[in-house]
Amino acid sequence: MNYLNDFFIRLDHMVKADPRFKEEAYLFVMASIGRALRGLDKPRHIAGSELLAAIREEAEDQFGPMASPVLHHWGVKNSLDFGVIVFNMVREGLLSKANNDQLEDFKDSVFFENLFNQDSGYQLSEDQDVLKNVLKKQSIMEQ
């Protein structure tokens, strides 16, 4: 059996064992791990806080202002859910962990609040900006 087939068999097992999270959430975490590793001078263990930073960047790059709704759709409701996904992958033999790694390493009480912010550099197109202003004016008129 090749590595890719083995990965998808294990992925299917994880989704069935813990149906809170969709397959896409696991694939997204793997993409975020790849992002974190590409940012290193040489491969090494990635701490939970480092992975959360990579997850935030990956989410903003892939989904922009829709990042939070997409992650919620996949079953990810808070930053600790990423830790659960990682530890599910550890149990399934897809990832390894250091002795001091723990679920609490993924605790970030403002993860979703800070997921997409003004500092991200994302800009609305001119048409979207016009729509935003119209909606703002309607909101003010309705008050």
| Integer Cα distance of 109 and 50 in angstroms | 15
Q: Tell me the whole-structure pTM to 2 decimals.
A: 0.79
Tokens of 128: 């979207």
The 10s digit of each residue's pLDDT in 111-132 is 887 776 555 555 545 555 565 6
Q: How confident is the model at residue 31 (pLDDT cuts 50, 70, 90)?
A: very high
Burial grade of 21 (CB within 10 A; 0-12, 13-18, 19 or more): buried
